[in-house]
Amino acid sequence: MNIIAKFTVATEQSLDILVKLTRQLAIEKFSMLLDPQVMENYINQYFNTKALVVELNSMSNQWLVVYVDDQPVGYAQITSKGKRNSYLEEKRAIRIANFGILKQYDLPVVCDVLFQKCLSVCKSYEVIWIHEYMQSPWMELFENNGFSKEHETYQLDELPLTSLYLMR
């Protein structure tokens, strides 16, 4: 099995890949937690071609896609955007957002390749932070890689889900 995580830019091919991945992963992550209409609105608003072009072209973002045997199976967004808690306001901080791998490829080695690439990209920052919903299957991965949960809970950015901040 050949596994590689690569940066992606706004090309027609990468947009096709990201539209499919973002939608599939949103459904896998949230279908059991959200009302179907809320989920559909979320996907249509944030994971359409126009929105993804804007995000891919933003100087605040870097996008990584992980491939298994040349098949795109997951992605993560590295960004300076996002609602920060008070601790982060005075720090040179970067965020790992939207980390996800399709369930059929959810193997430790695949997760590790993508997450280690994220950490490598973020290493020059004072703080790396993640804002994640509490039921996320990735919490253990984040904590095993040195991230600490904050005790206070919040609402996840665009969704009615309880979330928390993790920092390293």
Mean pLDDT by 10 residues, the chain (168 residues): 96 96 97 95 95 95 98 98 88 97 97 98 98 96 97 86 96
Model pTM? 0.93
Pick the CATH number of 3-167 from 3.40.630.30, 3.30.530.20, 3.20.20.70, 3.50.50.60: 3.40.630.30
- Asked whether the beta carbons of 91 and 127 are under 8 A apart, the reply is yes
* Pairing of the two strands 127-133 and 93-101: parallel
Q: Is 63 helix (H, G, I), strand (E, B) or coil?
A: strand
pLDDT at position 154: 87
pLDDT at position 151: 87
Q: What is the rounded (10 degree) CA torsion for 59, 79, 34, 73?
A: 90
> In sequence order, which ranges of 87-149 are alpha helices (DSSP H)?
108-122, 139-144
Listed in order, strand segments (DSSP E) in 11-149 are 61-68, 71-79, 93-101, 127-133, 148-149
The CA–CA distances, whole Å, from 158 to 11, 69, 76, 114 equal 26, 33, 17, 24
